Copies of this chain bind each other. A is one copy, B any other.
Amino acid sequence: MDEALLARFTAITGAQNALTPQTHDLTHYTHENRKLVVGKTPLVLRPASTAEVAAIVRLASETGTALVPQGGHTGHAGGGVPDESGTQIVVSLERMNFIRDVDPDGNTITAEAGVVLQTLQEAAQHVGRLFPLAISSQGSCQIGGNISTNAGGTGVIAHGNMREQVLGLEVVLPSGEIWNGLRRLKKDNTGYALKQLFIGAEGTLGIITAAVLRLAPLPKGREVAWAAVPSPHAALQLLNLSLDMAGPGVTAFELIHRTPLEFVLRNAPGSRDPLAQRHEWQVLMEISSGRSEQDARDLAEGIFAAGMERGLVADAVIAETIAQRGALWKLRDDMGPAQWPEGISVKHDVSVPVHLLPQFLERGAQAVAQAAPEARLCAFGHMGDGNIHFNVSQPLGVNGAAYLKQRQGEIQDRVHALVLELGGSISAEHGIGRLKRDLLIATKSAVELETMRAIKRALDPKNIMNPGKVV
């Protein structure tokens, strides 16, 4: 890259916030978290304000320079990582980490893109409110990235995806202009829903610099339970029973197969099976009440009593202490990292209509068994949303890379074909980024792809915003 051009970019943030391979180890900024994508960049800019972001984008637009907006880079699709060309400048929002406003009366919080999710959750809690997005990377992911990927997680069943939390956005458009859409309104029918376009666009249509987010009431009571269920079909019936009895009080409903639980028990120090006997399928359930502690307890106990009576629950435990609650949640949160020591895997983040999930799990297991009979299926996820992480781990004692390389294509083809047959999504919450772009092209209709591209061309005619991602 032209040194004079790099100097012009550097002048915008100042040299101390313009990191180069010559001066810094940029691994942190160029590697996707599982190292499936390793890119190169001549420059990492760390702007401190929307004005600095706008100046960067204006210069990029003027000079046709590609930019890669980056949050906490905890994504699973390589959306925030530069390519290998060494010509894409990374714009890290990490210094824009100011919470501009917390408004408990209006139930909103206004935060810059670089605020870490957990910081935001704590700021909400500090004023007696709940920010309901909960994902396992919440200690390091940033809300700009959460919005750009329309993050999901365990709270979606009751509160919706990140999309549903966003009231307003501030975005630096590919022209370098700033769109101030920081509204705090529940209703606003004045033209096209621009904010919806930027949510989930993975930085390909502009750089989100700040957002107004909705706050929910803090529940007055909360119970966390772990239940063994005879089958995914029984889990579905238990889900429906729970929703019938507790409605929006069902704030988490995670289905967990034995294999990912075994991975955690083996690899996460201090973990133990909450139940005395070994069960093939289990559910992690959270019940919240806006009324009282006792009401949450009564709801949870009522659900399990009715579930046992109907044969939907083989055994169950409700956490008695905050520590027990944390331990149950930790089993679930550890399921991602617990796969690492088990070798490599082929991952699918898929969704189907909720009531078809048992069918998907049964037929999906058959499909995997045909394509890779020795592999270990590691299925867990957000049953309440029809979203399952359907991962295929290598067998132990073999060369995992060689084993999976040979079978990966067939595994993915079979799983995705089944997903599409059931009207599902090949990327329920992780997005497209770079890793699933070919898959997107292979599975979307030409008319949908072309409509997306038309929008991309209209907003980013010079293709400087995260090129090579999504579309």
Contact = CB atoms under 8 A, between A and B. Distances in A.
A362 to B, nearest CB: 17
Given A217-B247, A243-B217, A244-B217, A189 B458 contact: no
A161 B173 contact: no
A25 interface: no
Contacts of A425: 183, 185, 187-190
A106 B240 CA distance: 11
Contact of A186 (B180, B191, B385, B470): B385
A179 interface: yes
B353 A108 contact: yes
Given A290-B244, A455-B455, A385 B354 contact: no
Give the residue among A193, A382, A459 with the most B Cβ atoms within 10 A: A193
A163 interface: yes
A99 to B, nearest CB: 18
A191 B196 CA distance: 12
Contacts of A192: 197, 200-201, 205, 452, 455-456, 470-471
Contacts of A426: 190
B185 A353 contact: yes
A80 to B, nearest CB: 15
Contact of A190 (B185, B444, B451): B444
A199 B193 contact: yes
A298 to B, nearest CB: 11
Contacts of A356: 106
A22 interface: no
Interface of A: 105-108, 149-150, 152, 156, 161, 163-164, 173, 177-181, 183-194, 196-197, 199-201, 205, 217, 243-248, 290-291, 351-356, 382, 385-387, 423-432, 436, 440, 443-445, 447-448, 451-452, 454-459, 470-471
**Nearest 5 A/B pairs, CB to CB:** A196-B196, A458-B458, A247-B290, A188-B425, A187-B428
26 contacts: A105-B355, A152-B187, A152-B189, A163-B193, A164-B164, A178-B447, A179-B447, A179-B451, A185-B352, A185-B424, A186-B354, A187-B387, A188-B428, A189-B428, A190-B426, A190-B427, A191-B432, A191-B470, A192-B471, A193-B197, A193-B199, A193-B200, A196-B197, A217-B243, A455-B458, A458-B458
